[in-house]
Structure 1
Amino acid sequence: MTNISAKGTLGGANLTELAKISAKAFQVVDENDIAPFELDWHEVFDRWGAGASPAVQGSLVLIFLDTAQVVGSSLGCETIYQFGMKDVAEPGVYLVSKSATGNAWRIPGSSADHQENCSKISASGLADQVAVVLGVRTGHFLVLPAGIDGTSWSVNLNCVSPTLDDAILTEHLNVFAVENLNSAETRSDLWIDASQWIPKEQAERIIQKLLLVGLRTALTKHSVIPEPSTAIGRLDLLVLSKDPSDPDRYVLELKAVRSHTSTGTAVTASAMVTHLSDGVDQADQYRKKVGGKSAYLCVYDMRRVKGGDVIEKTKPKCANTDVRLRVFDVHNASKTARKAAATA
């Protein structure tokens, strides 16, 4: 095997701990969950790169599957029992089960070269599966919730938050919006015609899924649960501590406001105000139902002209219900985002 770094690590990731965690039985929140590694997987990469050499050699890709063993066998993969228990990790592509297993299946012919590995994944028909990539960038790992052909997130684990309060959560929400929603990589995910400010019909849902991955990788001591059911409906995101002695719960209700529908029809100001007013009610009611510490209405402004009466008319109701209003601008181009930042 190729010696990537000493003492059972790849760029600082503890492979022994990875094996122990992968061997634990756990339930995926939902079979369609885009981030099945939420519970403990990424915690082994805490402070990733802290003890690594300046240039990490090679990359390792974990592909998360419901039936990794079946897929691995069908592809003639090498079985790696108790993945991570060896002194060093060989770079390449590994199929890992979402459910309880300490094993992985290595795709034949995978190498230290990341682009070559991506080609192998595509050739194996696995390009749309959830993936985590290590070794490409020191001090970071990549999360690809829609597979290697989709949007990637570079997670800086030197900025991971072990605790949570309003300031920390708000900062993570800000960073997510600025660095990710306004990036070239996610633009095609959100817009039908960015030049005309026409978003996709499911833009709100897409933002929710991307934020789920972003918060899960940033808040290592908390679980981020998508759309948990309550007696009054399904809230967007619920954040709660993994420490059973910590009662804090944070409710996030997400709303996008837009100038046009996905068909190009103009959206009236009154419709936007009603949409946000409904969001305030939902955040308040869900917070009371789940015993949440704080409720947030996260507004993603996808309009050409930001702010204005639509936002101002929402503030009094938020104040009266103690729902924290957080507004994030979503721009149609990098140039627009830079201009807005310069004039802010």
Structure 2
Amino acid sequence: MPDNDALIAELLDADVVGSLQGHAGGPSFPASDEGLEAQFFSSAHRFFRDWLDDKGGSKEGAAPCVVILSRAIAQDMKRLSAKKFWYFASTADADIEGKIFVASYDLKVVAEVPFSTCGHQNALGEALVKLGLDSSAHCLLRGDRAEMYLCPAGLNGGSTRLYVRPSSAVQLDAPAIDFQLWEFHRTFTQTPSGILLPWKGKADDRITIENAELRISLMLGFFLRIAVGQDNVTVEDQTPHGRVDVKISRHAMKDELGPTALECKVLRTRASAGKTARNVPADEMIKHASDGVQQAIEYRKDLKGKLAYLCCFDARDTDEDQPDIVMLAAANDVTLRRYYMYSSASAHRAAEAAAAGAGLKLSGAAG
């Protein structure tokens, strides 16, 4: 028989469990549970970058367009009377200005939604509201400025602007990787309004979204592809010792550093399954991070590279290092980076001010 007292002790108070409930009484999940946004944004970024390359950069006077992620493209095309957009390729023939598209996550199927051409982004927003698409994950492409806006929660959530650079042969070294990782954390996971929308329920309860590690690695792969090119970053790359969360190819690395492996782990004080939540023992998280160090070691051997990273995205109650993991990583020449996930923007600002006052930096901060 299970120890009922032990089981009950793992359950959190009713307020915490209640924050996991939707208005209808079931679990309330963000729109990005499947992790498709990362692949969708990556595909859209590649298309738009190539579109800009074809035109030699930004195009003066170009009207913006919106591409909406569809999880059921055939049904959405029928529901919206959308017409399939054949040969959605990044050439001069791609007439995208002022239009609204629905697309599969990989942009292999794209359809134009019938609506009058919109000359500016506010008109596109109003059109999405009228079409009932304002809550859909989408990206706004501004060809006149070479800018891409990521909107994972539709118009009602935050958006992030990215400048889309031309194709280039950027190469990374260790400091450059640190910079990219820190920028990713600042943009995607540092606060509740980050692109990843990292918290499930109330941020103060510090329970992360479903499949947080996979979704972080997918988004990190997307982010790094922006820097070094689509073909130089692989997510979930198969090796003899398992799947590397993120691999940067040797072509994107400086000084014969070879391929670089990045293992992503999420550290938790609490976890949930459906409508229940439990406390996570500290020892469990030490083992979890220790496994990450060992994985990074094995992946580095498999890839025959010189660098290996363990990136810990820290959702625990307390912002503190794990001394055993710090020593283990150092002993095995694994670069350990810990990125604390704050419950609010004000909590982040307070922590940053306190660190600066003590002459320190936040954990993982580059530079």
Please report the TM-score for the alignment, with normalisation by the length of structure 2: 0.67
After TM superposition, give the deviation of residue 144 of structure 1 in Å: 4.5
Task: Name the CA distance, whole Å, in 2 between partners of 1:152 and 1:319.
Answer: 38
Task: Name the CA distance, whole Å, in 2 between partners of 1:341 and 1:244.
Answer: 31
* Matched residue, 2:10: none
2:223 aligned with 1:218, yes or no?
no
Instruction: For residue 206 of structure 1, give the secondary structure of its aligned residue in structure 2.
Output: helix
Task: Name the CA distance, whole Å, in 1 between partners of 2:197 and 2:252.
Answer: 38
Unmatched segments (≥5 aa) in structure 2: 1-35, 356-367
* Matched residue, 2:172: 164
199-208 vs 317-326, which moves further: 199-208
User: Do the aligned residues in 2 keep the contact of 1:258 with 1:301 (CA within 8 Å)?
Assistant: yes
After TM superposition, give the deviation of residue 279 of structure 1 in Å: 0.5
2:324 aligned with 1:316, yes or no?
no
- Evaluate the alpha carbon distance shift between residue 281 and residue 147 of structure 1 in structure 2; reply closer, same or farther with a 3 A threshold: farther
- Evaluate the alpha carbon distance shift between residue 244 and residue 277 of structure 1 in structure 2; reply closer, same or farther with a 3 A threshold: closer
Candidates 132, 148, 151, aligned match of 1:141 = 148
1:32-58 Cα offsets, whole Å, 9 max, x none, are 944552894353347x997565xx664
Task: Name the CA distance, whole Å, in 2 between partners of 1:227 and 1:49.
Answer: 33
2:118 aligned with 1:109, yes or no?
no
Task: Name the CA distance, whole Å, in 2 between partners of 1:34 and 1:325.
Answer: 29
Q: Which amino acid aligns with 2:121?
A: H
2:305 aligned with 1:300, yes or no?
no
* Matched residue, 2:342: 331
- Evaluate the alpha carbon distance shift between residue 96 and residue 195 of structure 1 in structure 2; reply closer, same or farther with a 3 A threshold: closer
User: Do the aligned residues in 1 keep the contact of 2:58 with 2:144 (CA within 8 Å)?
Assistant: no
Candidates 248, 251, 262, aligned match of 2:261 = 251
**Cα RMSD (Å) of the superposition?**
4.2
Instruction: For residue 198 of structure 1, give the secondary structure of its aligned residue in structure 2.
Output: coil
Task: Name the CA distance, whole Å, in 2 between partners of 1:59 and 1:244.
Answer: 35
130-139 vs 205-214, which moves further: 130-139
After TM superposition, give the deviation of residue 287 of structure 1 in Å: 1.6
Task: Name the CA distance, whole Å, in 1 between partners of 2:245 and 2:94.
Answer: 42
Task: Name the CA distance, whole Å, in 2 between partners of 1:149 and 1:230.
Answer: 40
Bigger relative contact order, structure 1 or 2 (CA pairs below 8 A, ≥6 apart): 2
* Matched residue, 1:59: 64
- Evaluate the alpha carbon distance shift between residue 301 and residue 250 of structure 1 in structure 2; reply closer, same or farther with a 3 A threshold: same
* Matched residue, 1:154: 161
Task: Name the CA distance, whole Å, in 1 between partners of 2:42 and 2:180.
Answer: 21
Unmatched segments (≥5 aa) in structure 1: 1-29
User: Do the aligned residues in 1 keep the contact of 2:192 with 2:198 (CA within 8 Å)?
Assistant: no
After TM superposition, give the deviation of residue 202 of structure 1 in Å: 2.9
* Matched residue, 1:191: 200
User: Do the aligned residues in 1 keep the contact of 2:191 with 2:348 (CA within 8 Å)?
Assistant: no
1:286-338 Cα offsets, whole Å, 9 max, x none, are 12112233110001111232114x2x211221122211111111101010011
Task: Name the CA distance, whole Å, in 1 between partners of 2:130 and 2:191.
Answer: 28
Task: Name the CA distance, whole Å, in 1 between partners of 2:169 and 2:303.
Answer: 23
Task: Name the CA distance, whole Å, in 2 between partners of 1:343 and 1:244.
Answer: 35
Q: Which amino acid aligns with 2:101?
A: Y
Identity over aligned residues, as a percent?
24
Task: Name the CA distance, whole Å, in 2 between partners of 1:268 and 1:99.
Answer: 39
Q: Which amino acid aligns with 2:207?
A: I
Instruction: For residue 176 of structure 1, give the secondary structure of its aligned residue in structure 2.
Output: helix
After TM superposition, give the deviation of residue 277 of structure 1 in Å: 0.5
2:302 aligned with 1:289, yes or no?
yes
Task: Name the CA distance, whole Å, in 2 between partners of 1:72 and 1:333.
Answer: 38
1:249-273 Cα offsets, whole Å, 9 max, x none, are 1111111112222344332222221
Please report the TM-score for the alignment, with normalisation by the length of structure 1: 0.71
2:47 aligned with 1:41, yes or no?
yes
130-139 vs 164-173, which moves further: 130-139
Q: Which amino acid aligns with 2:217?
A: Q
Q: Which amino acid aligns with 2:337?
A: R
Instruction: For residue 318 of structure 2, give the secondary structure of its aligned residue in structure 1.
Output: coil
How many pairs were matched up? 309
